[in-house]
Structure 1
Amino acid sequence: MPETGHADFSQDRRFRAFILLATFPSVRWGEITALTRSDTDLRAGTVRIKAVYTQRSMGEMVLGPPKSKAGRRTVGIPKASIPALTEHLAIYVKEAPGSLVFPGAKGGPMRRSGFNRASAWLGRSPGHRCPEPALS
């Protein structure tokens, strides 16, 4: 957040729906990066978690099932988040049912490093630290 205490709305909107899904229904990184268009049901307000991406130590991205049966689930999306996801699907996601909802820069699964680089606050250098809040 800038010094005003308000969120920076000029930031790239590609990550808005991603942040909302990761925050409110608490979808994990590997789950959210594996979501496809066919996993989303905006009328019902749900996403279906059926796979996860895992990044191996050498950088390879591997698609597989969730760790447990409980990991395969349908998650409700807050009504307030549905417009952002609707916009995201319309603008950034290919029409094919198997298209990734949140693809990386080259079309494959999004990597944390790519997300961190692409979603950085505007005007902020990589080594920049936010100032400590003043204590009164």
Structure 2
Amino acid sequence: MLVRYNENTKKIECIINVASLLPVNNFSPAVIPQDIFFVANYPELYIEIDAPEEKINAGNLYTERLNQSIGLSIHNTPVNLMAPVAFTPDKRSLKLATTFEVILPDHRITIPAKYSPMLTGRVRFAIQNARSVEFFPR
């Protein structure tokens, strides 16, 4: 996953290669994430997380958990939601962690028919210890 801080938009940008995703359990086919996200047409997931500089660089040296706006692009369909994000400043880098769920049918995102019996349409994203380096000076 590529993580960077965009100083113009004040957002953390994450680009995830869909081919690197794995199912959570052992009984699902290994290719299920690639099939659900149509990797041939959409090889990457793009996630933006609001990270206003005044909040994440307020001199706090401890983890701060903020309810932030998160935007995704799935099948070129925008998905926006709010979720808690933990920011941990560390000298000239920023660590972040978050977990959120997207219910695909709510956003008119199609699930391949062969997976309908085994999926609820709910996809959980967990980002742990992602790091953006050299985001701005203290």
Normalising by structure 2, we get a TM-score of 0.28
Normalising by structure 1, we get a TM-score of 0.29
Q: Higher strand share goes to which structure? A: 2
Q: Which has the higher contact order (CA 8 A, sep 6+)?
A: 1
